Amino acid sequence: MASSAIFHFLPSSSSSLTSLSFRNSRTHLSQTPNFYKPLLVKASTSVDFSSPSKSPTSSKNNNWLWKYKDNSVNIYYEKHDKGSDEPCKNVLLIPTISDVSTVEEWRSVAKDIAGRSGKVNYRTTIVDWPGLGYSDRPKLDYNADVMEKFLVDFINAPNSPVNNSDKDLVVFGGGHAATIAVRAAKKGLVKPTAIAAIAPTWAGPLPIVFGRDSSMETRYGLLRGTLRAPAVGWMMYNVLVSNEKSIQSQYKSHVYSDPEKVTPDIIESRYALTKRQGARYVPAAFLTGLLDPVKSREEFVQLFAELEGRIPVLVLATAGSPKRSKAEMEALREAKGVSKYIEVPGALLPQEEYPEIVAEQLYRFLQEKFEL
């Protein structure tokens, strides 16, 4: 009976990165008072980037123990650098929040930036969110505050893998992750020296399509409770999410802009993530809007505005993103607090679909901040 009620309002389109069955540059970064004057840039696949030389990178993965209330959660992360003892600035890359969120989406970009030979060396760290990727997936009451708390703890803890003791951390995030990072910075809970928001989003699939009136919130609660239930939850999750055809359909329809780039290896990797123990808990929250950092476009834009003059912010919007997501990104084009706005190819996961272009733009952002 619950299933029939849920399928009654499943949407045919979505503006957020999810594998559920839904169809869904402003200024040159200097230290002058004109730092925040707008500069709009458009990147394309035909751009001939003249990149600095690259060196082989050293990579390692590990787990960090996150203490949250009565829970000890093993958090998976990866580090990439040149493997030398030379000083490095730290860059934290956080994956887009979705059912199949994973460090893999950032791996090529992280290695590219860490291998660059310039005036400054960069150490890149990618971390999986609790409940996603290769991190533990306990049955927590996931919401935006929980995810923000994790990010704040991961950055600020004395034993943090990003080693932020010298307060020079840069944060790159995709989708909801970018907005959560901006929200934490706006509150002063984290103090990165720069932020890049890649295809930033703020609304989960159902709320952006159906709104948040009391009737819909009741339905969202029904869906959320069903997905979290011991037996029927897995059954519904397997129908909606954990099947290769569904994942492939979503990647080809709106996660990637070029369906030809969606390979069997990608689908197999993401499908395996949906089979991990506890895999349905975060998607249940994401789908129904519990992971939304804000409740409106106005709040979304205001988050960035609060960083005006405090932290340089790069927004990488995407040319091929779904209509609703595109509209939210476009709202940041002239927004206060956005120091540079660039449009790159791709849809909701450009860092994986076009890693060379995204890496180049992010590296230029780093150069403008630290090397010029």
pLDDT digits (tens, 9 = 90+) for 114-137: 999 889 999 999 999 999 999 999
Distance CA 111, CA 113 (A): 6
* Amino acid type, 285: A
Neighbours of 268 (CB within 10 A): 11
Neighbours of 231 (CB within 10 A): 7
Distance CA 132, CA 292 (A): 16
Q: pLDDT-based confidence at 293, cuts 50/70/90?
A: very high
Strand order in the sheet with 194-198: 40-42, 340-344, 313-318, 194-198, 170-174, 89-94, 122-127, 71-81, 58-68
Distance CA 227, CA 212 (A): 19
Task: Point out the least confidently predicted range of 87-91, 344-348, 354-358.
Answer: 87-91
Q: What is the pLDDT of residue 21?
A: 39
Task: Inform me whether the pLDDT recorded for 3 exceeds 80.
Answer: no
SS (H, E, C) 163-177: CHHHCCCEEEEEHHH
Distance CA 22, CA 18 (A): 8
Burial of 188 by CB count in 10 Å (0-12 exposed, 13-18 middle, 19+ buried)? exposed
DSSP 3-state assignment of 182?
A: helix
Q: pLDDT-based confidence at 165, cuts 50/70/90?
A: low
Task: Provide the Cα torsion 326, 329, 330, 334; round to 10°.
Answer: 180
Task: Point out the least confidently predicted range of 12-21, 274-283, 299-308.
Answer: 12-21
DSSP string, 301-315: HHHHHTTTTTS-EEE
Could you give the domains of the chain?
Answer: 63-371 (3.40.50.1820)
Residue 253 DSSP symbol: I
Neighbours of 117 (CB within 10 A): 11
Please calculate the CA angle 207-173-33 and round it to the nearest 5 degrees. 110
* Interacting residues of 192 by C-beta distance below 8 A, sequence separation 6+: 92, 155, 169, 170, 171, 181, 185, 311
* Interacting residues of 195 by C-beta distance below 8 A, sequence separation 6+: 170, 171, 172, 173, 178, 181, 182, 185, 307, 311, 312, 313, 314
pTM over 0.85: yes
Q: Are the C-beta atoms of residues 316 and 338 closer than 8 Å to each other? A: no
Task: Point out the least confidently predicted range of 2-11, 36-45, 284-293.
Answer: 2-11
Q: What is the pLDDT of residue 338?
A: 98
Higher pLDDT among residues 180 and 85, named by residue: 180
List residues bridging with 75 in a β-sheet.
64
Q: What is the pLDDT of residue 211?
A: 81
Element (H, E) at 283: helix 281-287
Which of 173, 106, 128, 150 has its CA nearest to residue 276?
128
DSSP 3-state assignment of 23?
A: coil
